[in-house]
Chain A
Amino acid sequence: MPAAKQEPLLQVKNLHVSVEDNEILKGLDLTVNLGEVHAIMGPNGSGKSTLTNVIAGRPGYQVTKGSVLYKGRNLLDMPPDERAREGIFLAFQYPVELPGVRTREFLRTAINALREHRGEEKLPVRDFNKLLDAKAREVELSPELTKRSVNEGFSGGEKKRNEILQMTLLDPTLALLDETDSGLDIDALRVVSEGVNRARSESKAIVLVTHYQRILNYITPDYVHVLIGGRIELSGGRELALELESRGYEWIKEAVEKSDQVSV
């Protein structure tokens, strides 16, 4: 698979993050290059969502140490909307409802904000509608839903498919998927996975956060990382996910504790 060319797309170094004085990430390192798909796995509370939220710039997280570089720039200095315009997309674990905001208009505003940032013309309404309808069909979401308020009255599966719809429409350079697979039935899981697979390309990267191995039956990652206690303790290929599936996380935790004792 792709080797590290030039400068990495995303470089996280010794990242420490606290939420209300609780340290969640405790020295996390991660390097993502263009063309790669990374799966980040780990037990509940290990800091997986914190990582994606910090990269996307959600308020409420204090970075106390470390750095995050994106395309060589200090990402932590950028407001969340600028990060998005620079190509970072977060598929939310819990997509937010926006009463009265029509999905169609919301997405048109978003796509035009991105285009404007790139110095492109606004997309004419008709072209946008065509594009949206085509993308909606890809994720098997009824175009009727896009006329409703964003996520309002959507089922859990519809909300997740709506996230993937937005991802394919906005065409990000770095897509972060925060437990997009959780709570999905097998059909929705297939649809979501196909969307992610279509988005794979040499000019993009995907970071997939998941609790379960299941989605990795559909999406083959280049790297699998195990996040435990706020750090990536183990990295490997696709086979690591299968090992986690059969052995759980305990053996890694034990190994970590042992090595801590050794190092003390």
Chain B
Amino acid sequence: MARAPKVISRTSKDDISGDYKWGFVTDIESDRTPKGLSEDIVRLISAKKNEPEWLLEWRLKAYRHWSREQGQEPTWAKVRFPKIDYQDMYYYSSPVKEKKPGSLDEVDPELLEAFGKLGIPLDEQKKLAGVAVDAVFDSVSVATTYQETLEEQGIIFCAISEAVQKHPELVQKYLGSVVPYTDNFYASLNSAVFSDGTFAYIPPGVRCPVELMTYFRINSEDAGQFERTLIIADKGSYVSYVEGCTAPIRKTHQLHAAVVELIALDDAEIKYSTLQNWYPGDKEGNGGVYNFVTKRGKAQGVNSKISWTQVETGSAITWKYPSVILQGDNSVGEFYSVALVNNHQQADTGTKMIHMGRNTKSTIVAKGISAGHGENTYRGLVRMMPTADGARNFTRCDSLLIGDKCAAHTVPYLEVRNPSAHVEHEATTSKVSDDQLFYIMQRGISEEDAQHMIINGFCRGVFQELPFEFAMEASQLLKLSLEGAVG
């Protein structure tokens, strides 16, 4: 059994402040572009990465599109936040070493220590069993483990900046093919300025032998985070990918606008799991990460499958809708989500399942937990295109309320343009009841554990979709996020 990667484990008591256990800052020199965004900054980022002309052109098109759209942030989500000044942040911040080190000996020990503290040892001797990790620090990939094992199978797993250099044909073919740079305000911004992220390619017929994992760490202050992730599963391949995220405690809000694109060809399967634990802000709602993320997969081939599982506990605001375009006949899309809001956190999250192919099938299981003054919205679209003969969707949305100052909303959109398609929607709202708590406590279990038990039970349908080790972590993460919410 693989050792559990401690995505969310506590760091030692000495280096934490407040209730968020991952809030330490690593003192490391960083190389930044000046504040603000312009064509020059875009060119500078591209030059720093030594990018080919086509990529610079693509970035510039995205930038121009974005500047025309300035002020056109989407407003339909049920979240409130002050206007973001896009000229008052850094768009590129990198630990000072310019080139990715050839071996771990060249990695800054401060960085290794930072990831060690987070429970992600990058050292080959101590590396996590069964999990290949790409460690991304302030948008720059600093180390990737298990490289050799993966290379033997022809699997490419590296920083996207490295893939641009080594596998430009794959990147050029697929980048923006699922989320075009015109897709939405934040996706345009990301396309213009993305600094790094993860790239994975699984060749035909290969079943990736380890979990691929990216650990994202925001460190530097006032820096926006714009990762770009691209995963391609070629015909008949399988990959399970996991991402974990944490950030230091900062008084100001930090913008995180990532884009993730997945492509599954014929008979391929991608399982994508997220444990999102960005800094949520303090109890009064000061600080915290704005997590405005576009994630979409294209189940392009026949019999292909894309499955999103997310456990969202962090961030001041979460705005994300991991979606699947079910293009290939018989393709399958799944979305399993637990979104937790406590204190003043807001989440507007859900999915889109776009059925195009025949006999396509999608499943949505969304569990929202609201505590404190939290606002939790499930927003989901199921669209059955005229071509989607025999398509089926099943949606289940459950909301759990803790306390009487929080809120849960469910906003389903159903568009059915094919009479043979079948759509089911179930929704429930419940409270952690005093009867349940008393029943459990009457068996000798503490109130805190009783509450945890009820919440875990509520989330079981989602947790069982996570890779085993991560399910344990997810459960622990919920417990820590709800500390003090009992009563």
Contacts and interface: CB of A to CB of B under 8 A. Distances in A.
Given A81-B447, A96-B436, A109-B449, A101 B456 contact: yes
A80 B457 contact: no
A98 B440 contact: yes
Interface stretch (B145-153, B308-316, B458-466): B458-466
Interface stretch (A67-75, A83-91, A207-215): A83-91
A116 to B, nearest CB: 9
A79 interface: yes
Contacts of B436: 96, 98
B485 interface: no
Interface residues of A, number: 30
A252 B436 CA distance: 37
A2 interface: no
Contact of A80 (B435, B438, B456): B438
B157 to A, nearest CB: 34
A179 B443 CA distance: 18
A246 B445 CA distance: 43
Nearest to B367: A100
B439 interface: yes
Contacts of B435: 96
A166 interface: yes
B445 A99 contact: no
Contacts of A177: none
A102 B441 CA distance: 16
Contacts of A58: 438, 442
Contact of B453 (A56, A81, A98): A98
Given A79-B447, A96-B435, A100-B460, A106 B453 contact: yes
B41 interface: no
Contacts of A101: 453-454, 456-457
B14 interface: no
A113 B440 CA distance: 11
A104 B445 CA distance: 14
A188 B251 CA distance: 62
A84 B444 contact: yes
Interface of A: 56-60, 79-81, 83-85, 89-90, 92, 95-96, 98-101, 106-107, 109-110, 113-114, 117, 149, 166, 170
7 contacts: A79-B441, A80-B438, A81-B446, A84-B441, A84-B445, A89-B442, A100-B456
Given A59-B434, A109-B449, 15 more contacts: A57-B442, A79-B441, A81-B446, A81-B450, A90-B442, A92-B442, A95-B439, A96-B436, A98-B439, A101-B454, A107-B443, A110-B443, A110-B444, A113-B449, A117-B444
